[in-house]
Chain A
Amino acid sequence: MIIPALKMLRIEHLRGSVIPFSLPFEKGKKLTIVYGENGTGKTTICDAMEFLSKGKIGSLEDRGLGQKPDRYWPSVGKVHADISVSLDAGATSCTAKIHKGSVVVVPAEQKPKVEVLRRSQILRLLEAQPSKRYAEISRFIDITGVEASEAALNKLISNLTSNRDTAVAVVDANLTAIQQFWETAGKPGKGPISWAEVEEDRDYSSLVTDAKNLSGLRAAYQRLQDYPQKYEKTISALEKAQDDKQAAVNQLEAALSTASAGAGELVGILEAASPYLAKHPHIENCPLCESAERVADLHNNVVQRLKQFTALQAAQKAVTDRAKDVQMIEAQVLTLQADLASDSKKFEGSRLETVFPAEVELPGWEAPEKLDEIAQWLNETTNFPAAWLKCEAAWGEQSKFVDTLVKALTTYRNNVVTQKELDALLPKLQRAHEILIEERQNFTDGILKTISGEVGRLYEAVHPGEGLNKISLELEEGKRASLEVGASFAGKDKAPPQAYFSQSHLDTLGLCVFLALALLDDPENTILVLDDVLASVDEPHVDRLIEMLYAEADKFRHCIITTHYRPWKHKFRWGWLKNGQCHFVELTKWTLVGGLQHIHSTPDIERLRKLLDEVPPDPQLVCAKAGVILEATLTFLVELYECHLPKRASGLYTIGELLPAIDKKLRQELKVVVTAGSDAMGNKTTSTVELAPILDELIRIAQVRNVFGAHFNELSFELLEDDASEFGSQVLTLTEAIADQENGWPRKVKNGSYWANSNETRCLYPLKRPA
């Protein structure tokens, strides 16, 4: 996917932009340096980028502005609704505004990814608590999902290990039990398990049946045991009833003897007549004799006469009742007899029809069905029930033992299977767990190593050879989400840099950490904004830091660096930097009326070229500008070749002193191989520029610089103005031969034989001044 290059940033009424401010980005340049003195509005540009991307303004946070620093977002006299930040990139554009208290970007999909580092935040990661440090890098290292999966696997292993231990214990316990059963059984067969398996296969169901049958026989016998007592009791009752009946008869006879002869029959007649007369109270004749005499009161007379026979009646009733008693008991005897016959048959049925094991002894003769014989039979068979009970108990014990044995064997087998399954599974699970741990550690170590490697690489670029580049990032052991930062210092590894590094070194390290993290997180899509981060970095580190930033900026979608570091401006002016890579913007003084304003800085060589292009060229301006450039160029050569010059405290030398310092021998050998471009095949096209003719010509006409460019001088009236143009042209030729505006000056030794600039577009010979 092609990511569109930035074209224009527009800021309206955000902080310092009291009037709309536009910052155009130069085509083909991915690095924008925004230079400005303090208070020119550099931070407003950074704020705008952060507002657009993150919907906040970090420069106002943590500055004691309360919970709502957003009230200071609008420019003076403006409100939230007036704020607007737009960014044009390629053919697209997006705008951020505040709507209902929130920053809304339209269209949302065009919202750029921006990382902002401010001067105040440069030590954020280094000075933060370990947990905060972890938060800064968590987007690279947050693997909580995998950690949860690893925990589930670990828990499974723990549970299954416990299950296996249990299975082993159960196997041991049941094996011991079976071994004991086996030993109790006399160690039959090849071993306890094979014996138990034989026992398991054996049919023990008859034990239960025999016990049940014998129990039935014993119950039938127990029923017979009741009869002698019942019989005896019934016979006693019968005898008593018969005695009572006889006594009642005797009493009746005695009563009759005391009564008149035939009294008994008379009572019978009277008892029969009384109910009849009660039913027929108005009879005319006696129903017995048919006499009409005394008929009127006949019933009353009968009742009166019956009362006279009460004792006799009682005796007669007693005889009747006792006779009934005898009959009833006699019937009971018959019933008892019938029951006995039935129970005897049942017992015999059980005895004869059931096949009992041989150890069961049975009566040799059948149970009697007569009541008077059962007692003797029971006496003769009295020992059998106890023997039967013993048999039943023995069979029960055996059945119980077999059950226990089978259960032990089944449990043993099941747990052996479980143990074997887990023995196969657990090593695989443990291996999987090892892989998870290895990969997790490799992953996090790799990420941290990559980050620390990047930090070290960047840091070494700024502090080469200082031995401080061995930066380490380590997760704190035993703690979650906690990060330690260490560095090598004076032979001590993993030393906390906060404790040993100077403020300048710490600042550089903080910047390197920020850059390294940004470089790891989709840099091609990221706009990097560095807000005045060079403040505390000292010379010469700042030059290397700038070089490093130039190199790293190319890896991002775009990089905006704000600075108030003045040398940067001058190095840009003099083409000492890789200007071709950089878009340099200078902010002028901010005012309440004019807001932010910028000018486009132009390198001095370009200014000279423009002066020479003017028709006609102004000799004074050409000579003045060319003289300054020539001083810079000659100073570069004199320093590079360590030419002889008188020692001077001020370190300032005139062109008249600098030109002769490049002696004849050196002049003759000075040449520059200039790379002009590439041919159709992609090969570099070069040309060689000998510097001696240029320098010789400059020696010849150098005086025009002073005559035209430095002072008011009547002599200038006598000189040709073409000499001024020639001077300017020679200076331009010399300087362009040596320096490339886009790739800087040749300051690096290459192959031990020449000096080269970036990309080697200029190769300056010789390496050393000839002796």
Chain B
Amino acid sequence: MDTPSSQLAEKIMQRLTEEKLFRPEDQKKLLERIADGSIKQEDWRLAIELALGKEGGK
């Protein structure tokens, strides 16, 4: 069974992707790290900058 953190991380990831704050292709690799708390400041920044870059490129 998924842990509460995993369940919550999935909901968060879905919202972040819907609002184009995360790229869909980054979901998988970051989901577990958000769930287990291993995501660092620089990871957050990079993920959102990549999403910004992609959005800007459209």
A interface residues with partner B (beta carbon < 8 Å) = 139-149, 152-153, 155-156, 159-160, 424-425, 428-429, 431-432, 435-436, 438-440, 442-443, 447, 522
Given A432-B16, A443-B7, verify A425-B33 contact (CB < 8 Å).
no
**Taking the nearest CB of chain A, how far is it from the CB of B7, in angstroms?**
7
**Taking the nearest CB of chain B, how far is it from the CB of A424, in angstroms?**
7
Whether A145 and B41, one on each chain, are in contact in the complex, defined by CB atoms closer than 8 angstroms, is: no
A156 to B42, CA, bound (A): 8
On chain B, the residues within 8 Å of A159 by CB distance are 41
Q: Is B37 interfacial (CB-CB < 8 Å)?
A: yes
Given A425-B52, A432-B16, verify A156-B4 contact (CB < 8 Å).
no
A439 to B18, CA, bound (A): 14
A139 to B35, CA, bound (A): 15
Whether A149 and B39, one on each chain, are in contact in the complex, defined by CB atoms closer than 8 angstroms, is: yes
**Taking the nearest CB of chain A, how far is it from the CB of B18, in angstroms?**
9
Chain B, interface SS category: helix
A72 to B15, CA, bound (A): 55
Whether B4 and A435, one on each chain, are in contact in the complex, defined by CB atoms closer than 8 angstroms, is: no
Chain B count of residues within 8 A CB distance of the other chain = 29
**Taking the nearest CB of chain B, how far is it from the CB of A426, in angstroms?**
10
A159 to B4, CA, bound (A): 29
Whether B19 and A447, one on each chain, are in contact in the complex, defined by CB atoms closer than 8 angstroms, is: no
On chain B, the residues within 8 Å of A155 by CB distance are 41
- Indicate which residue in B8, B19, B40, B41 contacts A440 across the interface (CB closer than 8 Å): B8
On chain A, the residues within 8 Å of B4 by CB distance are 139-143, 443, 447
Whether A439 and B45, one on each chain, are in contact in the complex, defined by CB atoms closer than 8 angstroms, is: no
In the complex, the 8 A-B pairs of residues with the closest C-beta atoms, listed nearest first: A148-B37, A145-B5, A156-B41, A145-B37, A145-B36, A149-B34, A443-B8, A435-B15
Q: Is B26 interfacial (CB-CB < 8 Å)?
A: no
A431 to B37, CA, bound (A): 19
A156 to B45, CA, bound (A): 8
A438 to B5, CA, bound (A): 14
Whether A156 and B44, one on each chain, are in contact in the complex, defined by CB atoms closer than 8 angstroms, is: yes
Can you offer 8 A-B residue contacts whose CB atoms are under 8 A? A143-B4, A145-B9, A145-B34, A159-B41, A425-B45, A435-B19, A440-B8, A442-B11
- Indicate which residue in B5, B21, B37 contacts A435 across the interface (CB closer than 8 Å): B21
Whether A149 and B21, one on each chain, are in contact in the complex, defined by CB atoms closer than 8 angstroms, is: no
**Taking the nearest CB of chain B, how far is it from the CB of A428, in angstroms?**
5
On chain A, the residues within 8 Å of B36 by CB distance are 145
A438 to B19, CA, bound (A): 14
Sample of 18 further A-B pairs with CB below 8 A, known A145-B9, A153-B44: A145-B37, A146-B9, A146-B35, A146-B37, A147-B37, A148-B38, A152-B43, A155-B41, A159-B41, A160-B45, A428-B21, A432-B16, A435-B19, A438-B15, A439-B8, A439-B12, A439-B15, A522-B1
A438 to B33, CA, bound (A): 19
**Taking the nearest CB of chain A, how far is it from the CB of B58, in angstroms?**
15
Whether A428 and B48, one on each chain, are in contact in the complex, defined by CB atoms closer than 8 angstroms, is: yes
On chain A, the residues within 8 Å of B15 by CB distance are 435, 438-439
**Taking the nearest CB of chain A, how far is it from the CB of B11, in angstroms?**
5
Complex: chain B residue closest to A140, CB-CB? B4
Complex: chain A residue closest to B7, CB-CB? A443
Interface string of B21-58 (1 = CB under 8 A from A): 10000000000011111111101110011011000000
Give the one of A144, A149, A153 with max B CB within 10 A. A149
A142 to B51, CA, bound (A): 29
Whether A144 and B5, one on each chain, are in contact in the complex, defined by CB atoms closer than 8 angstroms, is: yes
Complex: chain B residue closest to A142, CB-CB? B4
Whether B44 and A429, one on each chain, are in contact in the complex, defined by CB atoms closer than 8 angstroms, is: yes
A439 to B15, CA, bound (A): 9
A139 to B3, CA, bound (A): 8
Complex: chain B residue closest to A151, CB-CB? B37
**Taking the nearest CB of chain B, how far is it from the CB of A206, in angstroms?**
44
**Taking the nearest CB of chain A, how far is it from the CB of B20, in angstroms?**
9
Whether B11 and A439, one on each chain, are in contact in the complex, defined by CB atoms closer than 8 angstroms, is: yes
A439 to B12, CA, bound (A): 6
On chain A, the residues within 8 Å of B39 by CB distance are 149, 152
A522 to B2, CA, bound (A): 11
A435 to B12, CA, bound (A): 7
On chain B, the residues within 8 Å of A153 by CB distance are 41, 44
- Indicate which residue in A144, A146, A447 contacts B12 across the interface (CB closer than 8 Å): A146
**Taking the nearest CB of chain B, how far is it from the CB of A493, in angstroms?**
27
**Taking the nearest CB of chain B, how far is it from the CB of A446, in angstroms?**
10
- Indicate which residue in B7, B9, B52 contacts A428 across the interface (CB closer than 8 Å): B52
A143 to B7, CA, bound (A): 9
A139 to B40, CA, bound (A): 25
**Taking the nearest CB of chain B, how far is it from the CB of A436, in angstroms?**
6
Whether A152 and B41, one on each chain, are in contact in the complex, defined by CB atoms closer than 8 angstroms, is: yes
**Taking the nearest CB of chain B, how far is it from the CB of A244, in angstroms?**
89
Whether B48 and A146, one on each chain, are in contact in the complex, defined by CB atoms closer than 8 angstroms, is: no
A244 to B43, CA, bound (A): 95
Given A428-B21, A435-B21, A443-B11, verify A146-B41 contact (CB < 8 Å).
no
**Taking the nearest CB of chain A, how far is it from the CB of B55, in angstroms?**
9
Give the one of B19, B40, B44 with max A CB within 10 A. B44
On chain A, the residues within 8 Å of B41 by CB distance are 152-153, 155-156, 159
Given A145-B36, A149-B37, verify A435-B48 contact (CB < 8 Å).
no
Complex: chain A residue closest to B21, CB-CB? A432
Complex: chain A residue closest to B34, CB-CB? A149
Complex: chain A residue closest to B33, CB-CB? A149
**Taking the nearest CB of chain A, how far is it from the CB of B29, in angstroms?**
14
On chain A, the residues within 8 Å of B37 by CB distance are 144-149, 152
A522 to B37, CA, bound (A): 25
Complex: chain B residue closest to A443, CB-CB? B8
On chain A, the residues within 8 Å of B5 by CB distance are 142-146
Give the one of B1, B4, B9 with max A CB within 10 A. B4
Complex: chain B residue closest to A440, CB-CB? B8
- Indicate which residue in A425, A439, A447 contacts B48 across the interface (CB closer than 8 Å): A425
Whether B8 and A429, one on each chain, are in contact in the complex, defined by CB atoms closer than 8 angstroms, is: no
**Taking the nearest CB of chain B, how far is it from the CB of A433, in angstroms?**
9
A436 to B48, CA, bound (A): 14
**Taking the nearest CB of chain B, how far is it from the CB of A129, in angstroms?**
22
A156 to B40, CA, bound (A): 9
A139 to B6, CA, bound (A): 12
On chain A, the residues within 8 Å of B9 by CB distance are 145-146, 149
Given A142-B4, A143-B4, verify A431-B19 contact (CB < 8 Å).
yes
Complex: chain A residue closest to B39, CB-CB? A149
A432 to B13, CA, bound (A): 10
A431 to B45, CA, bound (A): 13
On chain B, the residues within 8 Å of A160 by CB distance are 45
- Indicate which residue in B12, B21, B34 contacts A431 across the interface (CB closer than 8 Å): B21
On chain A, the residues within 8 Å of B21 by CB distance are 428, 431-432, 435
Complex: chain B residue closest to A522, CB-CB? B1
**Taking the nearest CB of chain B, how far is it from the CB of A654, in angstroms?**
60
Complex: chain A residue closest to B15, CB-CB? A435
A362 to B40, CA, bound (A): 69
Complex: chain B residue closest to A433, CB-CB? B44
Whether A429 and B34, one on each chain, are in contact in the complex, defined by CB atoms closer than 8 angstroms, is: no
On chain B, the residues within 8 Å of A438 by CB distance are 15
Whether B35 and A145, one on each chain, are in contact in the complex, defined by CB atoms closer than 8 angstroms, is: yes
A143 to B34, CA, bound (A): 10
A145 to B12, CA, bound (A): 13
On chain B, the residues within 8 Å of A442 by CB distance are 11
**Taking the nearest CB of chain B, how far is it from the CB of A335, in angstroms?**
73
